[in-house]
Amino acid sequence: MKSSSCSASRSPILLGVSLSLTLAVALSAAGCSSEAPSSAASGSARSSTTQPVGASSSAPQKGAAAPSPEDPKVAWSKRPKKTVEYTLKTIDGVAYPFTIDLVDGFEVNKRMTQDDAVYYTAEKTGGAWTFDVVVVTTPDDLDAMAARVKQRDTILKQEKLPDGYLIHAEDGKESTSVKLALKSGGAYLLCTASLTSVDGAGPNKTAILAWLESMCRSMKPKK
C-alpha cells in the first residue's frame, strides 16, 4: 500500500519531466532554441549601445562634398613679388628705364627679349602666364588700340587714363589679357599681361583680370 501511495504521489512529477523532455526534443527537431528570443533581444541591445540614435560618427559620410580646392590660377596672385628695374632702348639708342613688380615664378624669356621689349613667362599646367613691356615711340591711342584688339579678341573693358589707357580682353577660348600704356618721356611703355590656358580663365575670370591689371599697374616709368 505504501508503495502504491508513493507511486501515485510521484506520478505528477514524472509526468512533468516527461512533458518537458518531449517538448525539448520537439523544439530541437524543429531547429528552435528556447534561448533565441533572449539572444535576439541581447543583440538588439548591443546594437543600440554601439550606435545610439542621434549619436555622431567620425566616419566620413557617403556622398559628402569635399572642400573645394583653391583655383590654382587665383593662387598665383598670392605669390611673393619683388620690384625689379629694367631699361629698354629704342632703335636710335634712347633709354627708357622703368620698375615693375615681378611675381615669383616669372623669368625673363631671353629668346624673345630684344632691346626695345622684355618678355617674362611663367609656365603652368596646360598653359602659361606671360607679360611683356615694349617701348613704343609712335603709340596707338585708345581707340586705335581697341580697334586692333577687336580684330582677334572681345574687349571686356577699356578706359582712358590721364597718361595712357587700359584694355581688358579675351579670345573666348584660351587667352585672357590686359594692356596698359603709360607715357614715358617722348614715348610710351606698353605692358601686356596675359594668361593662356587650355580652359581659359575659368570661373574666376574677374579676379584673374584684376591680378593681370595689377601687374601692369606696378610698372613705373622713370622718365
Show the domains of the chain with their CATH numbers. 2-47 (no CATH), 72-221 (2.60.120.1690)
11: its cell numbers: 506520478
Using DSSP, state whether 57 is helix, strand or coil.
Answer: coil
Name residue, grid cell 593662356: 196
> Could you tell me the pTM of the whole model?
0.66
pLDDT band at 200 (very low <50, low <70, confident <90, very high): confident
What is the average pLDDT across 129-153? 93
What share of residues in the chain are helix, strand, coil (percent, to 5)?
A: 35, 35, 30
DSSP state of 69: P
Name residue, grid cell 623669368: 107
pLDDT tens-digit map of 144-156: 999 999 999 999 9
What is the average pLDDT across 187-211? 89
Name residue, grid cell 632691346: 115
Using DSSP, state whether 148 is helix, strand or coil.
Answer: helix
Instruction: Find all residues with CB under 8 Å of 63, minimum gap 6, and list them.
Output: none
189: its cell numbers: 611703355
pLDDT over threshold 90, residue 179? yes
Q: What pLDDT does residue 127 have?
A: 63
CA 170 to CA 30: how far, in whole Å?
Answer: 81
Bridge partner list, 168: 157, 178
Q: What pLDDT does residue 77 have?
A: 79
Lowest mean pLDDT among 36-40, 107-111, 136-140, 199-203: 36-40
Name residue, grid cell 629668346: 111
The residue count for the chain? 223
pLDDT band at 56 (very low <50, low <70, confident <90, very high): very low
Instruction: Find all residues with CB under 8 Å of 197, minimum gap 6, and list them.
Output: 73, 124, 126, 127, 174
